[in-house]
A and B are shown apart, each in its own frame.
Chain A
Amino acid sequence: MNSGREVIDGRLTVEGFSVAARAFADKWKTHNQSLPPWSWVPLINRTLLLSNQQEEGYLSLENILILSSLEESTEDESLNVATECSEKEEPVDHTILNQENEAHYYDFHIVYSASYKVPVLYFRGYCSGGQPLSLDVIKKDLPSCSVSLLLQSKWTFITQEEHPYLNRPWFKLHPCGTEDWIKLLSQSSISAGCQMPVELYLVSWFSVVGQVVGLRIPLEMLN
């Protein structure tokens, strides 16, 4: 039994993260074609950041054009193809109008925390001119149900911190408590007779975390 691959106590090893990340990116590409794919950014390019024989890195989804926050059902989300395209070639379908009626772009990085042994979501928003968006503006872009979640819950907690590798300020969704609700998610698969395989870790994690920032994943990804 390869102990590095299991999800232990709701937490991941660094090798487990690499495996889970690639599985997540693959499933996303297959099932979530309305959004661009995640890419894996290896740390090997950054001078000395290397560890073991495994390639370390993080997942990146950038230049997402978000034009709103509405509580609508999923049907509405497929409307409003942006007339301004992002740099990606495929038209971005996941667009909705924001309060200021201007284009807001978002970058999302899923980074492994070696301290807490869980993934952490970093994100930032900016206008088409590149000016960063403040948290107040970003909150207006988030689904309104998640804003109230943020205000009430003690685990969805957004702070502005430096990106662990890019020397720039980003926003971070706090990892405290991650392993607890991952364990809850795992338990349903335990009772079904199997441990949560590491390949599904990020899918499960993102099914919760993504909702806070308005990125939903299709249910098929959870299979």
Chain B
Amino acid sequence: MANEAVKYVWEGAIPLQIHLHKSDVASHPSPPPALVLAPRIGYLPLLIPHIKPYFKDSLPPGEDSIWFDYKGVPLKWYIPTGVLFDLLCAEPERPWNLTVHFRGYPSNILIPCEGEDSVKWNFVNSLKEAQYIINGNCKNVMNMSQSDQEDLWTSVMNGDLDAYTKLSPKLKMATIEDEFSRKASLSSPQSRQGATEMDVAGQIKTARVPVRLYVRSINQDFENIEDVPGIDTWDDISYLNRPVEFLREEGKCFTLRNAIESLLPEFIGDRAQTSGEERSRDDDNTEEADGLLREMGEIKLARIQGIEMKLEIPFSWVVNNLMNPEFYLHISVLVKAPQR
């Protein structure tokens, strides 16, 4: 059932130029940087087997504990590579220049990483959490056979969408219906249930969607995106790991903007759960409206899978097509903070 958008997501990759940190260089001259194409849906530690050969002759003796940094900020290895790039590079840098370290793991900041096992554990854990959110329980993941779990993970590691598509139905992950996929689903051999709860009349549907929101807040407007300063520490990013809950109502479209605003209510005029576009035009009193606009923050940019999203896109389409293999939708947002 792999559609174009899903293929696009799985094929997405970031060219990296990886420099060995000077304190790890024990050879002369120092080695040139390694050039690696990193899958967006993958994770940095998985690239180590490709990177290490470039540098092994330059390393000082001792055990490796590998970590990466971007402009001095240690990179959280359990965040998908594509998300790190979208979040940390306001203006996309190609190739993306990273520094690799083989010593001096910052264990007061980063949780430990023991190679592929740690990454796999993190993936499976996220998958369980996503399933719990969508299905209300994680028994399908828990009941999956060891070898199926292995194969699923391997398909992600290798970027093998065909293998993943064959295995993921075993997760029996409920899906969110959207108008665009409904036609496709009718002809699909898999049975699809909505991730929904319906009332007696079958009209109102609620859904819980796994979302990880990464928010960078700036205090002023910038002419160009490349003028947005980089972060100094992870404390400059607000991270929200919480589901978006929404009611599907007939005739109303729940957009990406609605989804983001439900997680960041500081960015809407009032707290009522109505469609974003209509609300900002509702204000009769223009003075009041201006005041509100000044106080309100503003979503400047939302990136998913490297795409700068139009916020009016139906959220259900975004989820179904742009989520990561562990069923989480990762959204990087640049916001202008509300003026208080």
Query: Which residues of A are interface residues toward B (Cβ below 8 A)?
Result: 46-53, 114-116, 132, 160-162, 164-165, 167-169, 176
Contact = CB atoms under 8 A, between A and B. Distances in A.
Contacts of A46: 238
B126 to A, nearest CB: 10
Contact of A48 (B111, B129, B215, B243): B215
A48 B266 contact: yes
Contacts of A162: 76, 111
Contact of B265 (A47, A50, A164, A176): A50
A53 B133 contact: no
B271 interface: yes
Contact of A115 (B110, B132, B335): B132
Contacts of A114: 241-243
17 contacts: A47-B337, A48-B215, A50-B266, A51-B265, A52-B265, A52-B271, A53-B271, A114-B241, A115-B129, A115-B132, A115-B242, A162-B76, A167-B235, A168-B108, A168-B109, A169-B110, A169-B111
Most buried by B among A48, A49, A116: A48
Interface of A: prevailing SS: loop
B155 interface: no
A52 B263 CA distance: 9
Given A114-B241, A115-B242, A47 B217 contact: yes
Interface residues of B, number: 32
A116 B266 CA distance: 24
B264 interface: yes
A168 B234 CA distance: 10
Interface of B: 76, 107-112, 128-129, 132-133, 138, 210, 215, 217, 233-235, 238-243, 263-266, 271, 297, 335, 337
Given A48-B335, A51-B265, A167-B234, 13 more contacts: A47-B215, A48-B238, A48-B297, A48-B337, A49-B238, A115-B242, A115-B243, A161-B111, A167-B233, A168-B109, A169-B108, A169-B109, A176-B128
Contact of A50 (B107, B217, B239, B264): B264
Q: List 9 A-B pairs, minimum CB-CB distance, nearest first.
A: A114-B242, A167-B234, A169-B111, A48-B238, A115-B129, A47-B238, A115-B133, A48-B215, A160-B111
A184 to B, nearest CB: 17
B102 to A, nearest CB: 20
Contacts of A167: 109, 233-235
A114 B235 CA distance: 21
Contacts, number: 59
Contacts of A50: 264-266
A188 B264 CA distance: 39
Contacts of A168: 108-109
A116 B238 CA distance: 20
A23 to B, nearest CB: 23
A52 B233 CA distance: 28
B285 to A, nearest CB: 23
Given A132-B108, A169-B110, A169-B111, A48 B264 contact: yes
Contacts of A49: 238, 240
B24 to A, nearest CB: 23
Nearest to A169: B111
A105 B58 CA distance: 41
Nearest to B78: A162
B295 to A, nearest CB: 14
Contacts of B263: 51
Nearest to B142: A176
Contacts of B109: 167-169
B297 to A, nearest CB: 8
Contacts of B242: 114-115
Contacts of A160: 111-112
Contacts of B217: 47-48
A114 B240 CA distance: 10
Contacts of B264: 48, 50
B337 A115 contact: no
A169 B78 CA distance: 13
B234 A115 contact: no
A52 B262 CA distance: 9
Nearest to A51: B265
A52 B245 CA distance: 13
A109 to B, nearest CB: 15
A40 B297 CA distance: 27
A162 B113 CA distance: 12
A168 B210 CA distance: 23
Nearest to A46: B238
B298 to A, nearest CB: 12
Contacts of A176: 128, 138
B100 to A, nearest CB: 21
A51 to B, nearest CB: 6
Given A48-B215, A48-B264, A164 B241 contact: yes
Contacts of A165: 239
A49 B238 CA distance: 7
A13 B265 CA distance: 18
